[in-house]
Chain A
Amino acid sequence: EIVLTQSPDTLSLSPGERVTLSCRASQIVNSNFLTWYQQKPGQAPRLLIYGASSRVTGIPDRFSGSGSATDFTLTISRLEPEDSAVYYCQQYGGSMFTFGQGTKLEIK
């Protein structure tokens, strides 16, 4: 089973700042199957990025994804208050889907 480790666990930033969230895999991940979600309290996760770098229609271009092999990142270029959420990476490999433990982002 591929384990995804996200860092940092939590962070607090101000509106307008730029942030990069990390997702590191215990084995090589097919980039086509690396996905990012945003989850707000009391809601289901929301799809942001698939295929490591493809942004879903309707997601602001402030969100971007990159990476390959075992290291992937989600970057939010200009933070807005509504970006406060937990961000999860997810992968498919070895007939299993696994998620990272999440990064909680607070906008001050």
Chain B
Amino acid sequence: QVQLVQSGAEVKKPGASMKISCKTSGYTFTTYLIHWVRQVPGQGLEWLGRINPADAITHYSHNFEGRVTMTRDTSTTTVYMQLSSLTSDDTAVYFCAREYEGTCYFDHWGQGTPVTVSS
């Protein structure tokens, strides 16, 4: 079955960077885009961007341009999301989610990675 399994919780200092992973299985890695969405505690959902595992082409939200980097490793069918210059406002649960290109909706999600930014 389709699975997106994310790395564990992280605690970071302000100004640091974080890098979390999303290990996929149960489908052909290169046929679905992977997106990253975050949820600040008690609040709504915010899209960070996406990567096409087939060619590594990325598209980032303008709200995160310059701070976010998404990469993929086809040998392990894993996608990574790095966010730099962290502030307390980046404290959130980060989700990866899958899209069949062109459908513009997310049919499977990872379990979420809680990230806390605190001094």
Contacts and interface: CB of A to CB of B under 8 A. Distances in A.
Interface of A: 32-33, 35, 37, 44-47, 50, 56, 88, 90, 92, 95-102
Given A44-B110, A44-B112, A96 B103 contact: no
A43 to B, nearest CB: 8
Nearest to A50: B105
B104 A100 contact: no
Contacts, number: 51
Interface in B43-75: 43-47, 59, 61-62
A32 B44 contact: no
B95 interface: yes
Nearest to B45: A99
B27 interface: no
B107 interface: yes
Contact of B105 (A44, A90, A100, A102): A90
Given A32-B104, A88-B45, 9 more contacts: A33-B105, A37-B106, A44-B109, A45-B109, A47-B105, A90-B45, A97-B37, A97-B47, A102-B45
Nearest to A35: B105
B104 A45 contact: no
A35 B51 CA distance: 20
Given A44-B109, A45-B109, A56-B107, A99 B35 contact: no
A46 B107 CA distance: 8
B111 interface: yes
B104 A92 contact: yes
B47 A96 contact: yes
